[in-house]
Structure 1
Amino acid sequence: METADLSTVTDINELAKFLSDAQLQDLSSSHSVDCIIICASAVLYGAEVLFKTLTERPSLAKCLVLCGGIGHSTQLLYDAVKQHPRYSQIGDEIMGIPEACVLEQILEKFFKKSEISKGECKILIEDQSTNCGQNALFSRKVLDQAGFKNLKTCIVIQDPTMMLRTKASFEKVYEDSSCPVSFISCPIFVPQMKLSHSGSLEYNTAFESITLWSRPRFLELIMGEIPRLRDDERGYGPNGKGFIAHVDIPNSVELAWSRLVVTFRAFRQI
């Protein structure tokens, strides 16, 4: 899409805000929790904020899980590391390793991992999952094996475009828990767009947007999420494939999605 109008930007931002599910907007001000789980993403800003925060506040969590195996989008993570102004120096070293191990390398070499561990925050690696459902299922296995079987509070950090679905995946996996677990969505930031002077779409962020998704990929991601979240025969909810807990989709979001379908088809974007 080369040009857009304000109504299209409004609809895009409506979807992005809904999918980001920003229950916790400032990680540094959060109360201490039992666990923080970060699912690896090609948008490295989330990991940067998390690692910096834990270095400053190692008591924020009793446990940190770095989550992600090798899947269809892992190459995007490798590319993001290679193109990053700071992390590019390990671009060759991380090729072929699981996403969680990429995060571990970044934590080890660019942040103070030892400071986090000294604060009694146990760091665990989940390096087998390849989708949101497995992120939740395999993270629970890793946590159970490490003795964290009675979680009460858990912050989940994920790519903002998949944050809501990821939280719903964890709620599904833990639905049989004897004690309810409070999963708190923390996308780190909520992606928003604006119109450039030439009328094209561009990111409206307080940090360098070169580290974000390409615009076509971002639009593809947010448009693909709504059908997955629907609790119908085609969706991922209990009335469909049963991958996630039920999610309520506001009518305003459905209407924004429907308008964007028409708009993007007109521009041959989807």
Structure 2
Amino acid sequence: MAEKIAAAINQLAQFCGPKDLPALTQTALQQTYGYTQADVFVLFGGSILAGGDLLAQAIQAKVAKKYIIVGGAGHTTPRLRQQMAPYLPNQSLEQLSEAELFSAYLQQKYQLTVDYLETKSTNCGNNITYLLALLAQQQLPHQTMILAQDASMQRRMAAGLHKYAPEVQIINYATYQVQVQTKADQLVFDQMPLGLWSMSEYITLLLGEIPRLRNDPNGYGPKGQNFIAPVSVPAAVQTAFETLAAEFPDRIRQANSAYASDSN
């Protein structure tokens, strides 16, 4: 049974956390899209710490013309502050937004900076609308954008951008990809990116995504809350969700109204 659960987790993860490039390099961009730099690279603050290392990699590889970190305070922020603390020992983190935390991490570890921070958004919906407002305010070209979000939320983030800016070419690059395996009948990760969720947290995040991604009265698509562009959930993914939900019925995460807006 553990193998079946691991396969279901990996099926959901593959769907929720796409990467549209084989590597985060100018060569991969050229071979896949026909250009060496996207207009904008965006890291979203909902990511685990490994997102900060990925951002450094992106800057060093010069895969975009502008770099932005997006994220105010939301349901993942207290955990992020806690995990950032050892890497930012001389700073008070309690009042820092997710964008400010990742910016400080980038400076402390790599001596790198980004072009802009968006620090007011509280959820995946206004992550996008506030990002677009920033791009408009600064008059930044953004026909092509690389989006980097936590693997559990990558597809939803892209669907949010597609709703509000359908003309933008979106390149997905989830901040990590892991496989769940079984060892002595226990679920384990094949690798441990920096700041990775516990297995329980990871399963909860993945289970919470599928109801949100569905384009039905209870989902976030046009037939429901209308927060994101329509997403088609393949039958194999739906089956994996049902398998996992039957095993962990108490882990289907509900939206937190404390961080709600009209574009959650």
State the TM-score bracket (shorter-chain normalisation). 0.7 to 0.9
1:236 equivalent in structure 2: 220
Q: How does 1:113-128 map to 2 (within 5 A)?
A: 113=112, 123-128=115-120
1:253 aligned residue (214, 237, 253): 237
Distance in 1, Cα, partners of 2:251 & 2:172: 29
Cα distance change of structure 1 residues 209 and 108 upon mapping to structure 2, 3 Å threshold: closer
Equivalents in 2 of 1:42, 1:89: separation in Å? 21
Cα-to-partner distance string for 1:167-206 (whole Å, 9 max, x where unaligned): 001111113xxxx21011100322220112x21111112x
Q: After TM superposition, which residue ranges in structure 1, 4 or more long, deviate above 3 angstroms?
A: none
Q: Could you tell me how far apart the structure 1 residues matched to 2:14 and 2:56 are?
A: 24
In the alignment, which residue of structure 1 is the partner of 2:38? 33
Residue 131 of structure 1 deviates from its aligned partner by 0.5
Q: Which of these residues, 180, 194, 206, is aligned with residue 222 of structure 1?
A: 206
1:133 maps to: 125
CA shift, 1:42, in A, is 5.0
Count of residue pairs the alignment pairs up: 244
2:158–2:172 CA contact under 8 A, matched in 1: yes
Measured in 2, the distance between the counterparts of 1:146 and 1:88 equals 30
Structure 1: which amino acid aligns with 2:58? T
Q: What is residue 65 of structure 1 aligned with on the other side?
A: 68
The answer on whether the counterparts of 2:135 and 2:142 sit within 8 Å (CA) in structure 1 is no
Root mean square deviation, CA, Å: 1.8
CA distance in 1, matches of 2:206, 2:14: 10
**Which amino acid is the alignment partner of residue 12 of structure 1?**
I
| Alpha-carbon distance, 1:269 to partner | 5.2
Alpha-carbon distance, 1:13 to partner: 0.4
Match of 2:103 in 1: 104
Structure 1 residue runs of 5 or longer lacking an equivalent are 115-121
Amino acid at match of 1:109: Q
SS of residue in 1 equivalent to 2:115 = strand
Residue type matched to 1:57 in 2?
A
Deviations 1:96-132 (A, max 9, x none): 2111011111122221326xxxxxxx61110001111
| Aligned-partner Cα distance in 1 for 2:198–2:56 | 24
Provide the TM-score with structure 2 as the length reference.
0.87
Give the aligned residue type for 1:167.
A
Conserved? CA contact 2:151–2:177, under 8 Å: yes
Shift of 1:11: 0.8
> Cα distance 1:210–1:126, how it changes in 2: closer, same or farther (>3 A)?
closer
Q: Is the 8 A contact 1:27 1:50 kept in 2?
A: no
Q: Do the aligned residues in 2 keep the contact of 1:37 with 1:64 (CA within 8 Å)?
A: yes
Give 1:225 shift: 0.4
For residue 88 of structure 1, report the CA deviation from its aligned partner. 4.8
Is 1:20 matched up with 2:17? yes
Change (3 A) 1:42 1:88: farther
**Which structure would you say has the larger RCO, counting Cα contacts within 8 Å and 6 or more residues apart?**
1
CA displacement at 1:53 relative to structure 2: 3.3
Distance 2:8 2:175 in 1: 21
* TM-score, normalization by structure 1: 0.85
Instruction: Give distance in 2, aligned partners of 1:25 and 1:165.
Output: 21
| 1:117 matched residue in structure 2 | none
CA–CA separation in structure 1 for the residues paired with 2:246 and 2:145: 38
**Paired letter, 2:187:** L
Unaligned runs of 5+ in 2: 30-35, 253-264
The answer to whether the 8 A contact 2:49-2:194 is kept is no
Of 50, 73, 78, which residue of structure 2 is paired with 1:75? 78
CA contact (8 A) 1:157 1:185 kept: yes
Sequence identity of aligned pairs in percent? Answer: 29
Contact 2:220 2:226 in 1 (8 A): yes
